[in-house]
Structure 1
Amino acid sequence: MLVEHFNSHVRYGAAMALGIACAGTGYKEAVSLLEPLLSAKENYVRQGAVIALSFIYVQQTDVSCPKVGEFRKQLTKMTTEKGEDSMAKFGAIIAQGILDIGGRNMTIALHNRSGTTDMGGVVGMMVFQQFWYWHSMVPFISLACKPTCLIALTKDLQMPKIEFKCNARASLFAYPPPLESKKKEEHEKVETAVLSITHKKKPVKKGGEEKMEVDEEPKPAKDEEKKATLPAFMCSASSRKAVPDNEPPTHTIENPARVVRLQLKTLSMMENSRYKPVKSVTYGGIIMLLDKTPDQKAELVVQVSAMDNQQTEVQQAVAGGTTLDPAAPEKQPHSAFEIDLKDY
Structure 2
Amino acid sequence: MDGCCLKRTSHDPEICLSYVGMLVEHFNPYVRYGACMALGIACSGSGYKEAVAVIEPLLQAKENFVRQGAVIALSFILIQQTEGSCPNVVEFRKQITKMVSEKGEDSLVKFGSVVAQGILDAGGRNVTISLRQRAGHVDISAAIGMMLFLQYWYWHTMTNFISLAMRPTAVIALNKDLKMPKMQFKTSVKPALYAYPPPVEPKKKDEGERVETAVLSISNKKKQRRLQTMFDMRGDGFEDFGDLIPSSSSKKEEERKPVQPQDLIPSLQNPARVVRLQLKTLSLSENSRHVPIKPLNFGGVVIMKDTCPMNFEELVPSHQEATTDSPTDGKVIEERKPHAAFEIDLNEH
Q: TM-score range by the shorter chain?
A: 0.7 to 0.9
In structure 2, do the counterparts of structure 1 residues 191 and 38 end up closer, same or farther at CA, with 3 Å as the change threshold?
closer
The letter of the residue matching 1:262 is L
Q: Does 1:285 align with 2:303?
A: no
Partner Cα distance (1:22, 1:246) in 2: 31
Partner of 2:68: 47
Partner Cα distance (1:31, 1:202) in 2: 63
Q: Structure 2 unaligned runs (5+)?
A: 1-21, 232-236, 321-335, 344-349
In structure 2, do the counterparts of structure 1 residues 190 and 112 end up closer, same or farther at CA, with 3 Å as the change threshold?
same
Q: Does 1:247 align with 2:263?
A: yes
Equivalent in 28, 35, 38 of residue 14 of structure 1: 35
Partner Cα distance (1:200, 1:275) in 2: 84
Partner of 2:272: 257
Q: Structure 1 unaligned runs (5+)?
A: 233-242, 306-311, 318-323, 325-329, 332-344
Q: Does 1:269 align with 2:271?
A: no
- Alpha-carbon shift at residue 130 of structure 1 (Å): 0.7
Q: Deviations over 1:288-340 (max 9, x none)?
A: 111111011110000029xxxxxx979x97xxxxxx8xxxxx99xxxxxxxxx
The letter of the residue matching 1:59 is Q
Q: Does 1:301 align with 2:301?
A: no
- Alpha-carbon shift at residue 184 of structure 1 (Å): 3.0
- Alpha-carbon shift at residue 182 of structure 1 (Å): 1.5
Partner of 2:331: none
User: SS in structure 2 opposite 1:146?
Assistant: strand
- Alpha-carbon shift at residue 21 of structure 1 (Å): 0.4
Asked if the contact 1:168–1:251 (Cα under 8 Å) also holds between the matched residues in 2, the reply is: no
- Alpha-carbon shift at residue 183 of structure 1 (Å): 2.2
Equivalenced residue count is: 297
User: SS in structure 1 opposite 2:33?
Assistant: helix
For residues 296-335 of structure 1, the aligned pairs below 5 Å read 296-304=311-319
User: SS in structure 1 opposite 2:173?
Assistant: strand
In structure 2, do the counterparts of structure 1 residues 278 and 203 end up closer, same or farther at CA, with 3 Å as the change threshold?
closer
Partner of 2:51: 30
- Alpha-carbon shift at residue 217 of structure 1 (Å): 5.2
TM-score by length of 1: 0.77
Q: Does 1:80 align with 2:101?
A: yes
Question: What is the RMSD computed on CA atoms of the aligned residues?
Answer: 3.3
- Alpha-carbon shift at residue 245 of structure 1 (Å): 5.1
- Alpha-carbon shift at residue 193 of structure 1 (Å): 2.1
Q: Does 1:65 align with 2:64?
A: no
- Alpha-carbon shift at residue 187 of structure 1 (Å): 6.0
Equivalent in 188, 196, 208 of residue 217 of structure 2: 196
In structure 2, do the counterparts of structure 1 residues 150 and 129 end up closer, same or farther at CA, with 3 Å as the change threshold?
same
Partner Cα distance (2:270, 2:213) in 1: 64
In structure 2, do the counterparts of structure 1 residues 24 and 245 end up closer, same or farther at CA, with 3 Å as the change threshold?
farther
Partner of 1:127: 148
Asked if the contact 1:167–1:251 (Cα under 8 Å) also holds between the matched residues in 2, the reply is: no
- Which of the pair is proportionally richer in helix? 2
Partner of 1:153: 174
In structure 2, do the counterparts of structure 1 residues 99 and 203 end up closer, same or farther at CA, with 3 Å as the change threshold?
closer
Asked if the contact 1:20–1:52 (Cα under 8 Å) also holds between the matched residues in 2, the reply is: yes
In structure 2, do the counterparts of structure 1 residues 208 and 44 end up closer, same or farther at CA, with 3 Å as the change threshold?
same
Partner of 1:117: 138
In structure 2, do the counterparts of structure 1 residues 199 and 23 end up closer, same or farther at CA, with 3 Å as the change threshold?
closer
Partner Cα distance (2:220, 2:199) in 1: 55
Q: Deviations over 1:87-138 (max 9, x none)?
A: 0111000000000111111110111000001111111100110100111101
- Alpha-carbon shift at residue 176 of structure 1 (Å): 1.2
